[in-house]
Amino acid sequence: MHAIVVHEGGGPDVLNFEEVPDPAANGKVLVQVEAAAVNHFDISQRMAPEMTGATLPYTPGLDAAGTRVDTGERVLVSGAPGAYAEIVAADAENVRRLPDSVDFERAAGLGVAYKTAWASLADTELKSGEKLLVQAGSSGTGQAAIDIGRYLGAEVYATAGSSKLDRIRDLGAEPLAYDDERIDGLEAAVVFDPVLGNRLEASLSALAPTGRLVTCGALDSPMVSINMWSVVGKRLRIIGSGGGSVTPEQLDRLIELVANGELRGPVVDRELPLKQAAEAHRLIENRETFGKVLLKP
């Protein structure tokens, strides 16, 4: 079969399209991949494999949708390393049944992004009627946070680059440019901030007293400095979160919500052949995408 193989950390060009042996089951479920999602974690891992626990050489990717080799059943695979391949081997608990109403492309984009957004908003105990600000709403995780926030009944605002604001509105959120004056004093109950870096101060200023800021990572820089008086003065909470806490049953629930239309599901920016994985990474790093980029074996 063919797969993407990384032999050393570095830029997108370290993503090599190679012929490799088919994986052996060894107690796992083999899935013929129809679509694999590109996540920001994949980029971070590619740049510094040793920091993410990867052993070189390795095949990237955590999310894919396709069919079980043994039964032909349509499934989503999430949290299983090696998804940038024609066949992926996954633990049974990471393989979830897909209803016919959810196509492979939307399913592939459900994994890391939706699990992360779901866990993050659950950790903040976001309630119906509360105001939610989503930073980087055009990213896969940001779009998922908008979708889930609306499902929970929140009043959703989201930031994005100026060329993407109309598409943010189409998702049902009030769009804000990153430098919009309304962010300071927005009085949001919750801010979902996967960016950090120099955006953190803006996120804190957008919070109402006793507000909660939740972060799942750092698209910009994890090294930040803040004025703690703003945190103390407004009695704010800063919460770290991530999709690792989402159970298989909760992922089944997310799939069900997409299947019955209560969640609109991932926005797919584009689909590229597996051999163009490097181009997929470049597009995301250059912030030229809106939603998920998928790789098709």
- DSSP, residue by residue, 104-172: HHHHHTTHHHHHHHHHHHHHHT--TT-EEEETTTTSHHHHHHHHHHHHTT-EEEEEE-GGGHHHHHHTT
pLDDT of residue 89: 98
User: What is residue 32's predicted lDDT score, i.e. its pLDDT?
Assistant: 98
- According to DSSP, the residues that pair with 179 across neighbouring strands are none
pLDDT mean over 49-54: 89
Q: Which residue type does 40 have?
A: H
Query: What's the number of CA atoms in the CB half-sphere (13 Å) around residue 230?
Result: 18
Only one residue has tokens 């800021």, namely 213
**pLDDT for residue 226 is more than 90:** no
pLDDT at 117: 97
pLDDT at 219: 72
As annotated, the residues of the chain forming the CATH 3.40.50.720 domain(s) are: 113-244
Considering the chain, tell me which residue range(s) the CATH 3.90.180.10 domain(s) occupy: 2-110+266-296
Give the class (CATH, top level) of 2-110+266-296: alpha beta
Closest CA to 77 of 49, 100, 48, 98: 98
Pairing of strands 174-177, 74-78: unpaired
Distance CA 34, CA 87 (A): 9
Q: Which residues contact 232 (CB under 8 A, 6 or more apart)?
A: none
Q: What is the pLDDT of residue 218?
A: 78
> Which uninterrupted H or E stretch holds 239?
strand 237-240
Q: Could you identify the residue written with the tokens 């200023």?
A: 205
| Cα four-point dihedral sign 152, 157, 160, 161 | positive
The encoded tokens of residue 101 equal 């109403």
Q: Can you give the pLDDT at residue 293?
A: 97
Average pLDDT over residues 127-149: 97
Q: What is the pLDDT of residue 224?
A: 84
Q: Give me the pLDDT at residue 260, please.
A: 96
289 Cβ contact partners less than 8 Å away, ≥ 6 residues apart: 138, 269, 270, 283
- Both structure tokens of 228: 């703690």
> Where residue 179 falls among pLDDT bands split at 50, 70, 90?
very high
Percent of the chain predicted with pLDDT > 90: 90
Q: Is the pLDDT of residue 112 over 80?
A: yes
Q: Is 221 a residue whose pLDDT tops 80? A: no
Query: Is residue 227 classed as helix, strand or coil in its secondary structure?
Result: coil
DSSP class of 85: B
- Domain 113-244, what fold? Rossmann fold (3.40.50)
In a 3-state reduction of DSSP, which class is residue 46?
helix
Write the pLDDT tens digit of every residue in 186-216: 999 999 999 888 889 999 999 999 999 999 9
pLDDT at residue 271 greater than cutoff 80: yes
For residue 88, the model assigns a pLDDT of 98
